[in-house]
Amino acid sequence: MGRNKGLPKQLTEKQELLRQQSINKVLRAIEELKAEGRSVTITALVEFTGLSRSVFSKGHIRELLVDYGYSGIKTQERKKSTKKEKLADIVAEKDRRIQELRAQKEELERECELLRGRIFLLMQGKARK
């Protein structure tokens, strides 16, 4: 909060409170949209949260979207100044996707194991008859 030097403490606290409220609204909206099976877009988030479109270009909201894997949402991003930064972003996105795929794989393996168990139990029940 070094950028708020010279601002009254009450104003700084109010800004932080509003920032947290915006973050909470966006998080709830993401969860609700996912639960409804809708795609998470800026338009859908604006509609769901009631926040203005400009809120989604603020740093704390953009970081939140990136942290939750919605870096592909179209917002006005500053241009990457160097090839190294661009490549680092590509690598970070690929790493995030790999982690996401690994989690999906683990979930599918658990589901497969459960289904194998059910099949086994069903086969045991038929064998007894």
Delimit the domains of the chain by residue range. 9-71, 80-129
Rounded distance between C-alpha atoms, residue 97 and residue 91, angstroms: 10
What is residue 72's predicted lDDT score, i.e. its pLDDT? Answer: 61
Going by C-beta distance under 8 Å and a sequence separation of 6 or more, which residues neighbour residue 125?
none
Q: Looking at residue 79, what is its pLDDT?
A: 55
Q: Which pLDDT belongs to residue 76?
A: 43
Number of other CB atoms surrounding residue 26 within 10 Å? 23
Helix residue ranges per DSSP H, 1-129: 9-36, 42-49, 59-67, 83-128
Residue whose structure tokens are 């969860």: 31
Q: Per-10-residue mean pLDDT for the chain, 129 residues long?
A: 69 88 89 85 87 85 80 53 86 93 95 94 81
